[in-house]
Structures are given as C-alpha cells and as structure tokens.
Amino acid sequence: MSTPTSTSSSFSPTPPSGSDINTITNHLKTLYASYRATPSIPGKAVFFSKECMQICAPQPSYAASGRETIISYLEAASNSGVSIPGVSEKKDPKREGYTIRPLRLAEDEFTFETDEVVAHAGVESVDALKERALREQWVGMRVDLWFEDESEGGMLCKVQYWWRKEDGTVGEGEGRWVQILHDIMYMGLRDGTEGTEGDEVLQ
C-alpha cells in the first residue's frame, strides 16, 4: 500500500472556474487521507460542512441533513462496538484499505440515487440535488473502503463523497474544501471488488 498520487482522469459537474481540476482532486485526496488519520470521531467534524448530508441506498433511513447527525451516527456505531471502515478509532493498517479516484464523466457517475432515497435527507428530488451541485460547483470522488475480519469476512463500503468550497469564492484562493454529501451506494460484506476502483490501494 502507498500514499495518494495524482490521476489524469477527473470530473466535477462544473469544473470550478480558474482552478485546475487535477490540483483540486489531488487536494481532496490529501484531505480524505487526513480525515481517515484523525483518531477521534468528534475531531472528524472539521472536515464536514455544517450542511453535510448523507444518503444511503442500502438503508435509506440512515440519512442525514446536517453534520451533527452524521457525527452522532459514527459515535453510536463506535460505542456499540461496530467496526466501520475508515472511521473506527482502533485501526490495524494491515487489515484496512481504501481506493479513491475522481468521478468519471464517461460512465455517467454524476448520480444521486432516487427521489425516494434523497427524501430521507430532506431533499426534494434528485434533480434538485443535481441543480445544487452544479450551482455550488461540487467536486465528487469515488471511495471504496474495507477491512478484513477473519470471523465474518470483513466489511466493504462504496461511497461517492462530494466536496464544496466554503468561506470563499469557488475557483479562488480563499476558502476551504469540506465534505458536503456522502452518497453511500453499498454497505455490506466484502464482495471481491475491493481494490478495483482506483490506481492503487491506500491505508
């Protein structure tokens, strides 16, 4: 396993004006690595927008319309002893891995599940969410993360993370990129596809 490197393929709904999209996606990879490396769940809140939402295709009720709800989900899972790839406070790097890459325009990855799924996060429709992503110039990344578990076979999550630039003008130097949406597409047992979505497996 290794540290994140650049990639030539990239996609955002509307590339932020005045910015190189490869520079942005490489920065998001670094931010995500820092997010994973943050040991405490409350400490991870700084990486989320206050308005950060969550939608979940496998379990639509596992949704959120703000940062505090997402943090409460992570804390509840941690307190219950449930291991969550990438967020559990106790990690064995030999047993965890993830891949991260920009979304691909050619594969039509600019999607947000269904109207029924996004409604659980307080969103009117998929079209409304897409319109917001375009207007606010979100940038999306595909992340697959997993851990090995000898007793149960391990867990795999497939997520489209979306970032938005806040506290400044998109495309300019001010401001910072924060997570604005977690689109959980798969959450379950490892299915053999872990490690296939990305140029390299990271820790």
pLDDT at 96 over 80: yes
State the DSSP H helix or E strand holding residue 97, giving kind and residue range, or none if neither: strand 96-102
pLDDT level of residue 4 (50, 70, 90 thresholds): very low
Which span out of 14-28, 103-117, 123-137 was modeled with the highest average pLDDT? 123-137
Average pLDDT over residues 124-148: 94
> Minimal CA–CA distance to 197: which of 159, 148, 163?
159
Q: Is residue 195 part of a domain?
A: no
Check residues 149 and 61 and name the one with the higher pLDDT.
Answer: 61
122 Rama class: left (phi>0) / alpha (psi -120 to 50) / beta: left
Residue 77 inside a domain? The answer is: yes
- Judge whether residue 3 has pLDDT over 50: no
The pLDDT of 93-121, averaged and rounded, is 86
CB 71, CB 44: distance < 8 Å: yes
6 in a structural domain: no
pLDDT of 171: 52
The proportion of the chain whose per-residue pLDDT surpasses 90, expressed as a percent, equals: 58
| 41 is a domain residue | yes
Q: Residue 46: which domain range? A: 21-189
Asked if residue 168 is part of any domain, the answer here is yes
Which tokens sit at 186?
């798969």
Which is nearest to 129 in space by CA: 41, 200, 65, 33?
Answer: 65
pLDDT for 203: 74
Q: Average pLDDT, stretch 69-93?
A: 72
In a domain, 16, yes or no: no
What is the reported pLDDT for 19?
67
At 79 the pLDDT is 84
When the pLDDT of each residue in the chain is averaged and rounded to a whole number, the result is 83
Question: 100 in a domain, yes or no?
Answer: yes
Q: Give domain status of residue 115, yes or no.
A: yes
What's the number of domains the chain is made of?
A: 1
Q: Say which residues have a Cβ less than 8 Å from residue 143's Cβ, sequence separation at least 6.
A: 32, 98, 99, 100, 158, 159, 160, 161
Has this prediction a pTM greater than 0.85?
Answer: no
Q: What CATH number should be reported for the domain holding residue 129?
A: 3.10.450.50
- State how far the Cα of 32 lies from the Cα of 100, in Å rounded to an integer: 9
Q: According to DSSP H, which parts of the chain are helical?
A: 21-37, 67-79, 115-119, 126-136
Closest CA to 186 of 115, 130, 113, 122: 113
